[in-house]
Amino acid sequence: MKTLREYVKEAEEKGVAIGHFNISNLEGFHGIYKAAKSLNVPVIIGLSEGEEEFVGKNEAVGMIREIREKENYPIFLNADHHYSFESVKGAIDAGFDAVIIDLAKLSLEENVKITKQCVDYAHEVMKNTGKDILVEAELGYIGSGSNIKETIPEGAGIKTKPEDAKKFVEMTGIDMLAPSVGSIHGLIKSGKPHIDEVLVAEIRNSANVPLVLHGGSGLRDVDFTNAIKAGISIIHINTEIRLAYDLALKESLRQHPEEVVPYKILQPAVDAVEKVVLDRLKLFNNLK
């Protein structure tokens, strides 16, 4: 099977994007995987530090590896938004396919220093094991937390400059870059800014590495399609599926207050996650 690096390159060539969806439990995983498999497209499962602690690093790796090897399916595991070298190292050691070191709040000097440390460690593990590992970093702060916000967080939304992106990639050696181009983490009640597709293209040409769009929940369809055309290769969605899961579960409990069988209570939540992911994957992959 091709590596995630090869699938990212293929997505660029086809003018599509790989969907990245976070999980906190088995129900979310099943909803995402069922949607991806029904369309036969590659998919990335993400675990933030908090999600990783709840699910378990080794458990997540084992689950993804079993599906990939047993069913020969292109499903990959990413350590989403890790904030220290130690946490990135732990994910790499556990067997994640990709990691994101998120130091956008730090000074450029500190961001470069720790990001380079993560890249060097990934290269060391790749040399010793032959396993391909992608390292992604962020440049430009777009807020934090996959939740519902009243307004855009203070300090978020300052866009990444193409020349800074180029310099950052050269200094760190990262494989992928998550720039600030208009999106904000979470759902914003007042509405999200639009994606600056012109800036996306400028950063892609300048940085010369694949670009990742974070904070995809709540964006208009046209923002996604324009971003993909301009050079985005991976798109992150989390809050949308959390909200779908939450609403479906509450409705299931309301309709069946006497039910005590977990898989019966939780099935509507799985179905709700699957629907959101299916719609997004169709859009990202230009499928009807």
SS (HEC) of the chain: CCCHHHHHHHHHHHCCCEEEEECCCHHHHHHHHHHHHHHCCCEEEEECHHHHHHHCHHHHHHHHHHHHHHHCCCEEEEEEEECCHHHHHHHHHHCCCEEEECCCCCCHHHHHHHHHHHHHHHHHHHHHHCCCCEEEEEECCCCCCCCEECCCCCCCCCCCCHHHHHHHHHHHCCCEEEECCCCCCCEECCCCCCCCHHHHHHHHHHHCCCEEECCCCCCCHHHHHHHHHHCEEEEEECHHHHHHHHHHHHHHHHHCCCCCCHHHHHHHHHHHHHHHHHHHHHHHCCCC
Residue among 80, 97, 196, 223 flagged as catalytic: 80
**93 carries an active-site annotation:** no
- Indicate which residues carry an active-site annotation: 80
